[in-house]
Amino acid sequence: MKLALPMFSRAATKKVAGSLDQRSKMMAYDQPLVWVVVLLMLFGMVMVYSASISLPDSPKYARYDNAHFLGRQAIFIALSLVVGLLAFRVRIETWQKWAPYLFAGTLILLLLVLIPGVGKGVNGARRWLSFHVFNLQPSELMKLFVVLYAADYTVRKQQVMHKLTKGFMPMTVAIGFAGLLLLLEPDLGAFGVIVCIAMGILFLGGVNGIWFGGIGTMLVGIFSLVIVLSPWRRERIFAYLNPWEEGNALGKAYQLSHSLIAFGRGELFGVGLGGSVEKLHYLPEAHTDFLLAVIGEELGFVGVLVVIIAFYWIIKRAFEIGRQSIAMDMTFAGLTAKGIGIWLGVQAFINMGVNLGLLPTKGLTLPLMSYGGSGVLINCIGLAILLRIDYENRVLMRGGRI
């Protein structure tokens, strides 16, 4: 007596084998994303060196050698990569549990910054906590932790997000308090970034459209009021509107006018790496806020385009990872991934807009590239979390456990 065995078609067998083969070839993590981020940081380090090499010629930086900022930026990048690797090993579930405490802890740091003798002031702004070896900028921490907090809040309150008092208002109060502390530093740029992050995540999380429109209108009113009530901000806006007027070009629009001159000199392919004239004490903060202008002068339109494409690819990848997580019912991870994309996208857009004269001058650095320890470190932690989200997606698609 013969036993009847189930028969599989040759096509079905090939389909199963192909699926298993494709799954086995899936990378454990997003290697292209890692390489784009690392290359962008290394490119930034080269440009920081180029932009800062002549700074020791001025009395302000006379005690530094020509490679001072290059050496420090290399240390920042190496440390950030190590910390990013450690952050990658933390499960997304753990980040979700920590989110409210990290947000509250950063609020305390923002309060400490405002205390005389504790917070460190530079050029009239009090934004740093000095630890002698390095300076910590709590506003950079807030950009990351507001992503985690807003994503966690949206998941916890998903059932009542359409209600004003139970869902929308508590989040508005928390972000408003953080924004108030940032305005007191003052740091209008960081305030704008965290508001965009919070609003973007709330919108993606399904907040009531009427309340979203209302809070958006209110924020426009707040920004307008801040500018109207601040004489020096008003002067900066008027100077931005007419940067080539002699008084503006020598005053409030000095940075903008020299930034535009740098882009004009660069034309299509630039004057060559190291050949910038504007970095020779004409363009202030060339190695931080106006690094893109030096790139535009030395490497031209092509160099700027490469930077823009790299950031576009990172942001696009963040949203793809977020959509994938949400499709797998991991809402917190998905909102966090998209929030990281919003954060990097908004900050890069503002910095580029300021350098190109599309936006009024604001003190925001170019993520991953500009000189600064706090900024690069927090950027790396944020991108490590993004990579962890993608890693957990891949593990689950393989049928494994996190």
Give residue-wise pLDDT tens across range 129-143: 887 777 889 999 999
C-alpha to C-alpha distance for 321 and 334, rounded to whole angstroms: 7
Q: Which residue has the tokens 């308090």?
A: 177
Strand 135-136 relative to strand 125-130: parallel, antiparallel, unpaired?
antiparallel
What is the percent of the chain where pLDDT is above 90?
Answer: 59
Q: Which residue has the tokens 């209108």?
A: 217
- Tens-digit pLDDT profile for residues 161-207: 777 677 778 888 899 899 999 988 888 889 989 999 998 998 887 76
C-alpha to C-alpha distance for 348 and 341, rounded to whole angstroms: 11
CB 291 within 8 A of CB 370: yes
| Measured CA distances, 98 to 13, 18, 238 (Å) | 46, 41, 44
Which alpha helices (H) appear in 242-290, and where do they start and end? 246-249, 254-266
C-alpha to C-alpha distance for 97 and 371, rounded to whole angstroms: 32
- Tens-digit pLDDT profile for residues 44-81: 999 999 999 999 998 888 899 999 999 999 999 999 99
267 pLDDT tier (thresholds 50, 70, 90): very high
Looking at every residue in the chain, the average pLDDT score rounds to: 88
Strand 125-130 relative to strand 119-122: parallel, antiparallel, unpaired?
antiparallel
pLDDT at 1 (0 to 100): 42
128 pLDDT tier (thresholds 50, 70, 90): confident
C-alpha to C-alpha distance for 90 and 104, rounded to whole angstroms: 20
What token pair was written down for 26? 């899936």
Across the range 83-105, mean pLDDT stands at 97
Would you kindly state where each structural domain of the chain is located, as residue ranges? 31-89+243-402, 99-229
